[in-house]
Structure 1
């Protein structure tokens, strides 16, 4: 019979109390010495449990006199990190990543057209401007491209879609570090496509947003897979 570690049991108990709302976001958990007294576990076990929660994105450890373990709710970054580990650990093939993006990104665009705010548009437009102004800077172009797609997902105001897109974009766009793929025509096409999609989001036209995004990501996937047949592409490390 497998007996769970004491630190796992304590971490599980604290996790449920955090997720249930018993411990409010931004407030500190009981101090280590108090948890030791309450649980009758060693200080080492308590610290290990808190470290587990930190890795899971449920607490933020702050050092110093006013320090401690402060409660935080998981965010899109935590989801993206977990999905990124899955992508790399399972060596998910590029075609599957592109299929997933084709399946969900048009929905991101549709929801963005329905729910975007003026602040969302500012972020999307800033990424557009960065793409157009990247010139021959490959790294600048790729980062601005990632920023634009993530900004559209963020404008959907759907945390699950945003987390997925953050992970997918990191994996997919690292593959375009191949100079032979990101040529001048690819850059011009991206700028044009992004502008038309942005216009649909600005105009709150979900049908146009879906149609234009679908065309954009499908064309991109087709072109990238053609390159992938000739070049081995590595999936990036997860942060």
Structure 2
């Protein structure tokens, strides 16, 4: 068969193979991913300086704009810190509890998570934080808890001061658990709950008195290294607070709708 005939029999040589559009990653994302992996695996030690920008351009054969964008990505992710000046540059830092707290806070605010969901989550998690705190607490942990208790009990303290001390106490319980994931998560959760309840509708004199008693009772269980008592008292505390807050919120919604 001639070449012409063969081409004709195969449909004129036109291929029937179909390809779908492909997404090619940005060069800055590729470079950021490479540096991120080396930081997270420990190849680049914490505090180590990355090569200067101009050297990264030479080594990677990428543009200065690409290198700068990759470094900005890592800075936003908390994996490097940028220092300016003669001794400046990009320095490696390992993510910590605050990185977790920042990510969870963005999720809460970005998704506009309801207050009731925040309270439900705390009821599910914080009693176990108290259990771990009773098992793992140190003398330093107890000192932080007591300092927060003193601030919470200050009858002359402002509402913002009371709320901040409250956040400090709840984060201190999570910190005493010595579980970094729980600490970061509870930091974001506590801040979000108290940001949503920072007015007299939710926090009056009686709520403050109840908080003082509950926090001291839970602290004593943690001090005594009694995990069962810590769980029981924390469960009662967060459940009671959630009920009180949601009742106020419901009454407020009813009043607004009637108006």
Q: Do both share a fold (TM > 0.5)?
A: yes
Cα deviation, residue 43, structure 1: 1.1
- Runs ≥4 in structure 1, deviation > 6 angstroms? none
User: Aligned pair 1:19/2:40, yes or no?
Assistant: yes
Distance 1:102 1:191 in 2: 19
Helix, strand or coil at the partner of 1:73: coil
Distance 1:4 1:180 in 2: 50
Q: Which runs of 5+ in 1 are unaligned?
A: 233-239
Contact 1:146 1:173 in 2 (8 A): yes
Q: Which residue of 2 aligns with 1:131?
A: 152
Give me the TM-score of the superposition, normalised by structure 2. 0.87
Q: Which runs of 5+ in 2 are unaligned?
A: 1-21, 254-259
Contact 1:197 1:213 in 2 (8 A): yes
Task: Pick the structure with greater CA Rg.
Answer: 2
Helix, strand or coil at the partner of 2:91: strand
User: Aligned pair 1:71/2:121, yes or no?
Assistant: no
Which structure has more relative contact order (CA 8 Å, sep 6+)? It is 1
130-139 or 188-197, which deviates more: 130-139
Alpha-carbon deviations, 1:50-97, whole Å to 9, x = none?
A: 110000000010111111111111111111111111111111111111
User: Aligned pair 1:116/2:143, yes or no?
Assistant: no
Q: Which residue of 1 aligns with 2:26?
A: 5
Helix, strand or coil at the partner of 1:177: coil
Distance 2:147 2:241 in 1: 22
Contact 1:134 1:140 in 2 (8 A): no
Give me the TM-score of the superposition, normalised by structure 1. 0.95
Q: 1:49 to 1:231 in 2, by over 3 A?
A: farther
Cα deviation, residue 230, structure 1: 3.1
Contact 2:57 2:63 in 1 (8 A): yes
Contact 1:134 1:141 in 2 (8 A): no
Distance 1:200 1:83 in 2: 29
User: Aligned pair 1:207/2:222, yes or no?
Assistant: no
Q: How many residues align?
A: 232
Q: Which residue of 2 aligns with 1:60?
A: 81
Q: 1:94 aligns with which of 115, 122, 138?
A: 115
